[in-house]
Amino acid sequence: MEADKVMVGKPLVSIVSAGMSKFGKFDGVYARELFVEAVKDAYERCPNLDPKRDIKALIVGQMSESFEHQGHTGPTMADWAGLTPIPTIRTEAACSSSAVAIRVGIFAVMSGLYDVVMVGGVEKMTHRKTSDVTEYLAMACDYPFEQWQGATFPGLFAMVGRAHMHKYGTTEKQMALVAVKNHHHGAMNPKAHMQKEICLEDALSSRVVAYPLKLYDCSLITDGACCLIFTKPEIAKKYTDTPVHIIGSGQASDTIGLYERENLTNLDAGRLAGEEAYRMAGVEPKDVDVAEVHDCFTIAEIVAYEDLGFCERGKGGCLVEDGQTGIDGKVAVNTSGGLKAKGHPVGATGAAQAYEVYLQLTEQAGKRQVKGAEIGLTHNIGGLGATGVVNICKRG
Amino acid sequence: MNRMAETRPFTIDSFYKFVGEGKLMAAKCSKCGAALLPPRPACSKCMSEDLQWIPVNPKGKLLTYTVIHVSPKEFESKAPYAVGIVRFDNGGQLLGMVRDVEPSKLQVGMTVIIDFERTSTPVAAPAQAPAQWPAWPRYFFRPA
């Protein structure tokens, strides 16, 4: 877009606080109650903010009302977060619902309509039987031509994996190494669903879900909520001495069905979103210190490395094998544990990626802190890449 | 379609009705020449509604595949089963089960042919689907 040229590297909005619930399996807890936990975390981090006075709109992502048989998520969350009567917007883009909420939050502030907004996301999943969860998540793909013909969500990503193996020689071991790395990171994140190290053998010997993907190649079904407070950049210092600026944002769409695409080894919407965000931010892939990427399945993280330009096309497997995406690597990827170990409450995931980047760029990431991280990136994919969203942040 | 112009609307429902008759049909755009598989009411390349039904060559190449071990309830009796994406020789791609072949014998690039399930009774729709949900017939692939 034309605006790219005039605002390269300029803050679009500032993140002045962020909050996240513990991620995990919480019986007898509702989504809105998890959202309260996230909101309280954000409020406590930002004592200068008076939520009722300052926050002018809430934009919240959620994938499916099927989980709790509860729709009208916007006001539900505003109500429990003590924010009524402000206006609310719910965004839905499958697993990238709250990355789109972040985008809408950017629009809301940049339009000049609101100085301060809350964006976030939520999903409560674990009370449902796995078969129900699988069915609801599969709605993000092309029902009449994929699920109806026998495809599952892991099955579709498995086909991307098989195509990648065939074209580039990517191995099951390289995919497993993504899981080992992200579990290692998750073990250092007190809010992660699974804070447990795994070894390569565990991952490779776990049962097959959809060849070549095994149980440890799949992310977790998780409950969780997350939120961020955005302000106009000019007033960020009123609220905090350590804001994080969003300096680039991109989004793209692709065919709803994977089966229609000529290229089955990468996800173009993620690549195009990245290119737009890099252009707007005026940064290059080599400038990125920390990145939270969409590892719903291990192959998706390998594909993301390539789509984001962290390595050449086809070399994603080698990048993880060479240890270049660990905390001390060339680019630290999924320091939170990623969707793989931190968990994947689908509607909350995009916001939770931004939360981790916010922690990293404000030196709040504890044991998993990447020293001196200046530039952080989030990469969130909806469905089989029919939506891709990339946001780039800079230490304030 | 021989000499009789086929006049069914360019919908998903029409596509699956053809499948029920053992035919694989796409829509061809008269304006830009794009072949739409599955058909759409307007060409997604140029948005023209000037479309014609054309038969699709039933042979194609397997672009990728998986073997699904953890399946939805309705396919449990078939698991593990293979699913693949096929590019037809004259263009167009579809996803379907790959049958009549050992999963270990599957190869990217192998030639397959589409076939159609022949059932006298409608296929059961998934439990979560609305009661009136169309129970479409299914197609599948087998080695050519």
For each of the domains in chain A, give its residue range(s) and CATH number, in order of start. Answer: 3-128+223-239 (3.40.47.10), 150-218+244-395 (3.40.47.10)
**Cβ-based contacts of B70 with chain A (< 8 Å):** 152, 154, 209-210
**Cβ-based contacts of B136 with chain A (< 8 Å):** 144, 148
pLDDT digits (tens, 9 = 90+) for A208-232: 999 999 999 999 999 999 999 999 9
Q: Is B81 on the interface with A (CB under 8 A)?
A: yes
Q: Is A260 in Cβ contact with B70 (below 8 Å)?
A: no
Distance from C-alpha of A277 to C-alpha of A300, rounded to nearest angstrom: 19
Q: Is A256 on the interface with B (CB under 8 A)?
A: no
For residue A170, give how far its alpha carbon lies from the nearest alpha carbon of chain B (Å).
14
Do B89 and B112 belong to one domain?
Answer: yes
Residue B4: inside a domain: no
The average pLDDT across B14-18 equals: 94
Q: Quickly state the pLDDT bin for B72 (edges 50, 70, 90).
A: confident
pLDDT digits (tens, 9 = 90+) for A353-394: 999 999 999 999 999 999 999 999 999 999 999 999 999 999
pLDDT digits (tens, 9 = 90+) for A10-21: 999 999 999 999
Distance between terminal CA atoms of chain B? 24
Q: For residue B47, what are the contacts with CB-CB under 8 A and spacing of at least 6?
A: none
Do B89 and B110 belong to one domain?
Answer: yes
**Cβ-based contacts of B16 with chain A (< 8 Å):** 144
The average pLDDT across B11-21 equals: 94
Residue B18: inside a domain: yes
Q: For residue A6, what are the contacts with CB-CB under 8 A and spacing of at least 6?
A: none
pLDDT digits (tens, 9 = 90+) for A21-70: 999 999 999 999 999 999 999 999 999 999 999 999 999 999 999 999 99
Confirm if A154 and B98 have CB atoms less than 8 A apart. no
Residue B92: inside a domain: yes
Residue B2: inside a domain: no
User: In the predicted model, is pLDDT for residue A4 greater than 70?
Assistant: no
User: In the predicted model, is pLDDT for residue B131 greater than 80?
Assistant: no
Distance from C-alpha of A259 to C-alpha of A384, rounded to nearest angstrom: 10
Do B77 and B93 belong to one domain?
Answer: yes
Q: Quickly state the pLDDT bin for A322 (edges 50, 70, 90).
A: very high
Domain of residue B17 covers: 12-55
pLDDT digits (tens, 9 = 90+) for A304-320: 999 999 999 999 999 99
CA A310 vs. chain centroid, Å, equals: 18
Residue B47: inside a domain: yes
Distance from C-alpha of A32 to C-alpha of A149, rounded to nearest angstrom: 36
Do B72 and B130 belong to one domain?
Answer: yes
Question: How do strand A224-231 and strand A13-20 relate by DSSP bridges?
Answer: antiparallel
Do B85 and B30 belong to one domain?
Answer: no
Q: Is B85 in Cβ contact with A264 (below 8 Å)?
A: yes
Confirm if A321 and A329 have CB atoms less than 8 A apart. no
- Tell me the CA distances in angstroms from B20 to A119, A195, B52, B117, one per residue in order: 48, 51, 20, 8
Any catalytic annotation for residue A199?
no
Residue A362: closest CA among A246, A247, A244, A245: A244
CA–CA–CA angle A57, A65, A344 (5° rounding):
85
Phi/psi at A348 (5° precision) = -95, -10
Do B20 and B49 belong to one domain?
Answer: yes
CATH of the domain at B102: 2.40.50
What is the reported pTM? Answer: 0.96
Quote ipTM for the complex: 0.94
Phi/psi at B66 (5° precision) = -145, 165
Q: Quickly state the pLDDT bin for B1 (edges 50, 70, 90).
A: very low
Any catalytic annotation for residue A344?
yes
Q: Is B72 in Cβ contact with A147 (below 8 Å)?
A: yes
- Across B95-118, b (16+ Cβ under 10 Å) vs e yields bbbbeebeeeebebebebebbbee
pLDDT digits (tens, 9 = 90+) for A116-129: 999 999 999 999 99
